């Protein structure tokens, strides 16, 4: 059990009430916020809703899959806007492995050989139905496919495996359903699609079909597009099935930047990357195509929680009732992608090379109006605002770097390769601010490293919401009474949240009382390489709403103006929030990291792991780890006091604050996935998107491996002690 001094406990309990009573004119990290407040006001007057709408319309006028000519056109557009604002701008190419579909054929037959379906069915809505969709018939739309899937030609009986989680496959085994040699059909939701393929492959399946059930994002949730916001029957969710929890980025160059100059001899051969890509064919499908397969399946009725919303009883299959033929031809080769990087030089002699980075990806599976170009449009208006400030004489202390990442959809590739190329200098980076699905509706959400949670709250208090009051006010109002936020597992905060879309608000156990709850950083977007590989403190912001067309042809401009943000007012809001994050971090006197909150969070995580181990019946020695967590919490309290009393400029203090986060990295990485080095946060091995906290320890407990877990306890304790030492020296 972690024990803190009485004073430490009192101060930890008071975090929430003190923060809630923050004076409006006082912003953490600034000795005098007067001048910065003026710059904030000048900046907020610039982002323009109409211009954001123009950006979105231009960016989504054509399908722009990563490496396509249309994708390069979007790079040119973003670069033009960066340059117009006065940023030093470069288009940075990388050569990466991508698969492109040549032929996709899915067929199903009943026991007599009668053909039940042959697809995929085109994504199409009758123009007579609520106006149809004006973008659906563009010949440049690629057939629906999964990035990272190999080619394959397999025919086998089919088994229904619910969401394709480890628990689902375990249940099938208990029910006596043999997976080996079968094609598995699973539904989207609950976990990352690559984990579904990973679990199926481990269970011995010969192929995987992933469909969108109307229970999860279709008519069961509300009216289908174009009448409403939810997935129509022919819509298909594309997506990567790379094993992101092993490593993201170019599969041929783990840990190494895939630059144009890198010789092929230094790459992992394409036929040797099965540790990061599935070895069995995987493809998505609509529920229109899945329905005849599921309806004809025999075998036992599925467990009742596995029942979806299609109008018949779901069965497990595995019998001779349905056979599926998957024929996938993929053109898999090295292709060129393009990041766009814009910079504003810092001016402080000491702080100028300490980078503040913000970014959003640009590529899309098809048009990507919500994902990701709502974020790109908002980011461009942020850059517009920064450009106006530059003309008015504003200069940042720290260098600002804006990144428009490519091939995120294929496995966070553009951001990962850039991070791996600049890994040494990123030791000096002070923050990475991400936005991806910036706007799918009016409900603001954010995730962050614990030290930046209060930072995000402060920024949102400054920005007006289109719904009235501040963004913070609406954020807090929206969270009130939400049971999914209140009841999340403190050791695996994303466990009971659907995570197929990248953003979901998750509970933080040490969040202050009466404050908005800021989620944990799992994976699924471009903060991953910055935070979990090189230890740059990060945040991720969005504004959510009903969104049933994720990764389909219908995520387009028409859907957006009908459902998400008709007047682009929330685009303007998100541009302002992102911009204030950048401005505040670029010019803060003392870096506004709250290690007091971080310490409280870690104490809660360790206590949760102890309870988890006891429940699992494991005998583990948590003594050293409990002591290290207590020490880290004490050090967080001490450094907070130093931050409040330090001189207006303190290079030594800022260096220590930055170094403490990096001290939480384990050079050897996590078990079975050494690319992930953060000891406090990682995507779960079997969740993919959802954060697992103190992952080495937590996953060791889940694996019931005492020796492995005890070793991870020691490594976590060492990391916390390293970070504590850094903070303690600076706090003196």
Q: Give, in degrees to the nearest 5, the angle at Cα 619 between 618 and 622.
A: 110
Say how far apart CA 251 and CA 173 lie, in whole Å: 32
Q: How far apart are CA 658 and CA 656, in angstroms?
A: 5
Q: Which of 577, 592, 590 is nearest to 434 (CA)?
A: 577
Question: Closest Cα to residue 635, out of 717, 726, 536?
Answer: 726
Q: Please tell me the distance from the alpha carbon of residue 507 to that of residue 487, in angstroms, as a whole number.
A: 8
Instruction: Judge whether 210 and 282 are in contact, CB under 8 Å.
Output: yes
Q: Distance (Å, rounded) from C-alpha 413 to C-alpha 403?
A: 13
Catalytic residue among 408, 417, 666, 685: 408
d(CA 102, CA 406): 22
- Say if CB 339 and CB 92 are below 8 A apart: yes
* Residues β-bridged to residue 398: none
Helix (H) or strand (E) holding 711: helix 706-731
Helix axes 373-391, 49-59, angle to 10 degrees: 130
Please state the length of the chain. 732
For residue 66, the SS3 value is: coil
> Closest Cα partner for 509 from 494, 530, 497?
494
The DSSP bridge partners found for residue 92 are 339
Which whole-number Å values give the CA distances from 365 to 79, 145, 714, in the listed order?
A: 21, 9, 43
Token readout for 529 is: 């390489």
DSSP 665-704: B-TT-BTTBTT--BSSEEE-TTTSSSEEESHHHHHHHHTT
Q: Between the CA of residue 188 and those of 191, 215, 446, what are the distances in Å?
A: 8, 10, 23
Q: Can you tell me which residue has the tokens 């007579």?
A: 128
Instruction: Yes or no: say if 415 and 405 are a contact pair by the CB < 8 Å rule.
Output: yes
Residues 6+ apart with CB under 8 A from 196: 163, 164, 165, 186, 208, 210, 241
HEC sequence for 280-344: CCEEEECHHHHHHHHHHCCCCECCHHHCCCCCCCCECECCCCEEEEEEEEEEEEEEEEEEEEEEE
Concatenating the DSSP letter of every residue in 94-145 gives EEEEEEEEEEEEEEEEETT--EEEEEPPP----TTSTT--TTTT-TTPPPP-
Residue 404, beta-bridge partner list: 340, 360
Distance, CA of 650 to CA of 347 (rounded, Å): 16
Phi, psi at residue 61, to the nearest 5°? -70, -20
Active site residue 423: no
Inter-residue contact 403 to 417 (CB < 8 Å)? no
Instruction: Give the pair of three-digit tokens for residue 355.
Output: 């980078």
Task: Determine contact, residues 499/192, Cβ cutoff 8 Å.
Answer: yes
Q: Which residue has the tokens 């303007």?
A: 572
Residue 420 structure tokens: 């791996």
Return the closest-CA partner of residue 638 out of 683, 609, 596.
Answer: 596
| The residue to which tokens 């497990």 are assigned | 316
Torsion angle of the four alpha carbons 260, 266, 272, 273, in this order, in degrees rounded to the nearest 10: -50
Choose among 667, 691, 687, 663: nearest CA to 677. 667
Q: How far apart are CA 255 and CA 244, in angstroms?
A: 13
Tell me the catalytic residues.
Answer: 408
């Amino acid at each position: 059990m972690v024990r803190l001094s009485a004073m430490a406990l009192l101060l930890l309990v008071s975090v929430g009430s003190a923060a809630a009573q923050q004076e409006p004119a006082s912003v953490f990290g600034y000795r005098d916020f007067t001048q910065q407040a003026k710059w904030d006001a000048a900046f907020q007057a610039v982002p323009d809703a109409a211009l954001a709408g123009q950006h979105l319309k231009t960016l989504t006028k054509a399908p722009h899959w990563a490496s396509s000519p249309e994708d390069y056109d979007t790079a040119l557009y973003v670069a033009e806007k960066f340059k117009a604002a006065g940023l030093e701008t470069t288009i940075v190419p990388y050569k990466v492995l991508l698969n492109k579909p040549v032929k996709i054929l899915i067929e199903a037959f009943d026991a007599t050989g009668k053909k039940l379906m042959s697809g995929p069915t085109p994504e199409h809505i009758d123009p007579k139905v609520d106006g149809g969709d004006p973008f659906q018939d563009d010949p440049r739309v690629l057939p629906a496919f999964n990035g990272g899937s190999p080619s394959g030609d397999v025919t086998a009986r089919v088994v229904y495996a619910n969401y394709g989680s480890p628990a689902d496959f375990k249940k099938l085994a208990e029910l006596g359903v043999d997976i080996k040699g079968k094609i598995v059909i699973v539904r989207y939701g609950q976990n990352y699609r690559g984990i579904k393929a990973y679990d199926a492959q481990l269970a011995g399946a010969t192929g995987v079909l992933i469909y969108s059930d109307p229970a999860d994002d279709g008519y069961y949730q509300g009216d289908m597009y174009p009448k409403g916001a939810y997935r129509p029957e022919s819509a298909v969710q594309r997506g990567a099935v790379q094993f992101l929890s092993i490593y993201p980025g170019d599969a041929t160059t783990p840990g190494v930047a895939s630059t144009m100059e890198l010789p092929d001899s230094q790459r992992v051969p394409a036929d040797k990357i099965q540790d990061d890509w599935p070895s069995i064919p995987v493809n998505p499908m609509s529920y229109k195509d899945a329905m005849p397969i599921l309806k004809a399946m025999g075998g036992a009725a599925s467990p009742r929680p596995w029942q979806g919303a299609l109008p018949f009883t779901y069965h497990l299959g595995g019998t001779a009732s349905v056979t599926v033929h998957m024929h996938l031809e993929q053109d898999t080769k090295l292709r060129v992608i393009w990041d766009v990087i814009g910079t504003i030089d810092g001016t402080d002699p000491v702080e100028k090379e300490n980078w503040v980075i913000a970014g959003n990806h640009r590529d899309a599976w098809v048009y990507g109006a919500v994902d990701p170009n709502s974020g790109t449009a908002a980011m461009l208006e942020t850059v517009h605002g920064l450009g106006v400030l530059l003309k008015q004489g504003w200069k940042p202390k720290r260098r600002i770097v804006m990144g428009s990442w490519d091939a995120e959809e294929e496995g966070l590739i553009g951001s990962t390769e850039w991070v791996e190329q600049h890994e040494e200098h990123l030791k000096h980076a002070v923050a990475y601010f991400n936005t991806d699905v910036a706007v799918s509706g009016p409900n603001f959400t954010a995730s962050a490293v614990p030290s930046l949670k209060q930072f995000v709250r402060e920024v949102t208090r400054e920005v007006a919401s289109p719904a009235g009051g501040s963004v913070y006010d609406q954020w807090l109002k929206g969270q009130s009474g939400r049971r999914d936020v209140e009841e999340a597992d403190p050791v695996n905060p994303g466990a009971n949240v659907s995570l197929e879309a990248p953003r979901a608000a998750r509970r933080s156990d040490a969040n202050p009382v009466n404050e908005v709850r800021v989620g944990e950083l799992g994976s699924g977007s471009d903060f991953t390489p910055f935070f979990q590989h090189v230890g740059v403190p990060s945040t991720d912001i969005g504004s959510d709403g009903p969104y049933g067309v994720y990764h389909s042809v219908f995520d387009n401009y028409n859907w957006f103006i009908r459902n998400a943000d008709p007047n682009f007012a929330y685009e303007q809001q998100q541009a302002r929030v992102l911009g204030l994050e950048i401005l505040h971090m670029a010019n803060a006197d003392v870096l506004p990291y709250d290690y007091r909150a971080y310490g409280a969070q870690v104490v809660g995580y360790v206590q949760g792991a102890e309870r988890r181990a006891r429940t699992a019946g494991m005998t583990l020695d948590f003594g050293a780890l409990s002591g290290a967590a207590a020490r880290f919490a004490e050090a967080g309290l001490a450094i907070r006091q130093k931050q409040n009393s330090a001189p207006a400029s303190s290079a030594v203090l800022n260096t220590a604050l930055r170094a403490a986060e990096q001290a939480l990295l384990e050079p050897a990485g996590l078990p079975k996935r050494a690319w992930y080095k953060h000891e406090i946060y990682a995507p779960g091995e079997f969740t993919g998107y959802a954060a697992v906290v103190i992952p080495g320890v937590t996953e060791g407990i889940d694996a019931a491996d005492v020796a492995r877990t005890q070793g991870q306890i020691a490594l976590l304790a060492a990391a916390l002690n390293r970070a504590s030492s850094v903070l303690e020296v600076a706090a003196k």
